[in-house]
Structure 1
């Protein structure tokens, strides 16, 4: 359970900012800190696994974003989590967890972020979303394509000092732009095709890379960019990254784009049939038969290149005693080992109106679940 909590904290990186070079060094490599007091920088001692980065700590504290919550915001918590953790996973393609350390992004300040997210206009020439064409009908208006920008910094250690080794930028794009024709009026939707979403995202990525190159402290370090497609706001599954590229050696544009085949679906709500869905439905039936007072049993299944790579199961119920929680958790772990797919990481959360009651997890290659019942 500690792994899940710490990973979530480490990924809480919604738009980040700073006014000076956040590496703690100026261009000459000298330490920069509060006047009269030098900053001390270290890292967490423990690394949960090769899937996670050690975190940079400055003056004994985790460096959080100063711009958190100042943007338009993603349309659901499912998208927020998928956006944050997905960018960290993409970053591992370029910045290994062995050689790099994680720090929340410090080079895009809140004023800059909000300018980028608004529409371009005479008053806001830095806007990345297109100008408003004045029309209100869903198929006639110009939509907002870009919803949020996410920055993550990856640091390298030289002796006892840390310096910026790479930046990852996530662009959260709207597949559906929700809007109102009048303030506080009904919600309307403009649907955006995957091709148009990619085109807009790629153009925005080059503009952001060029602007970052002009930012003090960035220099010629690699800048990776991922394009994230939000799922609809009523979806129980978060969105996915659909393309990624990297700018290297000080280039002001990214290199060749790699289109990603990633998808998240919700069992049992998914339309198409599969062996994974059948096995999950068998698991669901067994669980519901054992404990009929359930409000829901669902799973978020993550696919890469059409292969199931991860599953998160949520069970919502109402418990009346500690013995029921323990007995039900033991039964769920047993049936999960029997019916759910082997050789992929699986997390199972059992919750009630009182919050999380128990948690189970199994890593890739393992056959039994680690369980924890909350008192």
Structure 2
């Protein structure tokens, strides 16, 4: 009986402590600051977007999912300063609203952003049926005094469509048709303006709220690379023209990387060769470079080794840390993921405008 009383008292104390801890956490939830200077603070308490479940299903690879969100937040800073606004996941476009917008135009759904189902669509490179050109919509809300004071939206498009077809011999295959780039741009602009008109009718938005919209092309041809933004516009109370965005992701090494930045590619190859010579077994050394206005502003490198012990891992990381100083372009962000047997063992980062490399060991 005495043992039971002790247990009950202990449980009571745990419940009290748990209650105290929860109360303490609740007080902290009002404070969340950006990690880096110039980052947005997140509006708290955090509210998930009702339409978030769409993104993984409709935006293609996770490369695109991350790039769309990060790119939209970064580009929004030109219109909504992190010094003046908090940011939250979109609360205007609910799941049901987004689902209707991503559907085909019809008598029952005049807001649909995709072509009518009963009409063949001219891609500029052939006719296709029921193309899903607009595949997703991302929304960010910008907050002042706990009220939405601005919106950013990314309209995600694809330019390649598959249809069931048969050869002359009757053999079935998947016919792929790629939309002409000029037609895609015009379609994206029209869909963007239609989306702006729809948003203006929402009670949280109205006629005068500033809205930034960017058009993103998902990379359907190569899931190893993210897609890219290709046009944007900033709407206040009046209509605005869309401007070009010259953004492109490129594999390192590749002929395209050679064409855009031969100096960085040569340095990349030298580092790769040095790491390969450093180890007795095969090494994977692959990069993804993002170019804006034909200038490399971010390089991500994945190094894959097959280390047999801890010392070998440390040796590779130390050697790589020294070699990365040979990448002379300091106007880019550098991110290096070092993996051994498919597990990340270290991350090396270099910020734009500095030569200092930060190493985070995970073993």
**Same structural fold, with TM-score higher than 0.5 when normalized by the shorter chain:** yes
Higher relative contact order (CA 8 A, sep 6+): 1
CA–CA distance in 1 between the matches of 2:52 and 2:134?
17
Superposition RMSD in Å: 2.5
Work out which of the residue numbers 42, 48, 63 in structure 1 matches 2:47: 63
1:365 aligns with 2:350: no
Q: 1:120 to 1:181 in 2, by over 3 A?
A: farther
**Aligned runs of 1:77-92 on 2, under 5 Å?**
77-92=62-77
CA–CA distance in 2 between the matches of 1:214 and 1:134?
28
**1:285 positional shift:** 1.0
Q: Secondary structure at the match of 2:50?
A: coil
Work out which of the residue numbers 178, 181, 189 in structure 2 matches 1:202: 189
**1:236 positional shift:** 1.9
Runs of 5+ unmatched residues, structure 1: 1-38
**1:199 positional shift:** 0.6
Contact conserved, 2:142 with 2:150, CA < 8 A, in 1? yes
Contact conserved, 1:47 with 1:53, CA < 8 A, in 2? yes
Q: Which residue of 2 aligns with 1:24?
A: none
Q: Which residue of 2 aligns with 1:336?
A: 324
**1:319 positional shift:** 2.1
**1:229 positional shift:** 1.3
Contact conserved, 1:76 with 1:233, CA < 8 A, in 2? no
Runs of 5+ unmatched residues, structure 2: 1-25, 167-171
Q: 1:46 to 1:294 in 2, by over 3 A?
A: farther
Q: Secondary structure at the match of 1:177?
A: strand
CA–CA distance in 2 between the matches of 1:270 and 1:357?
30
Which structure has the highest helix share of the two? Answer: 2
Q: Which residue of 2 aligns with 1:237?
A: 225
CA–CA distance in 1 between the matches of 2:104 and 2:32?
44
> Which of 271-280 and 201-210 deviates more?
271-280
Q: Which residue of 2 aligns with 1:30?
A: none
**1:340 positional shift:** 5.3
Work out which of the residue numbers 162, 165, 170 in structure 1 matches 2:149: 165
> Which of 209-218 and 283-292 deviates more?
283-292
Q: 1:367 to 1:302 in 2, by over 3 A?
A: same
Q: Secondary structure at the match of 2:216?
A: strand
Work out which of the residue numbers 205, 208, 216 in structure 1 matches 2:203: 216
1:303 aligns with 2:291: yes
Work out which of the residue numbers 304, 313, 333 in structure 2 matches 1:316: 304
Corresponding pairs, count: 325
CA–CA distance in 1 between the matches of 2:162 and 2:215?
19
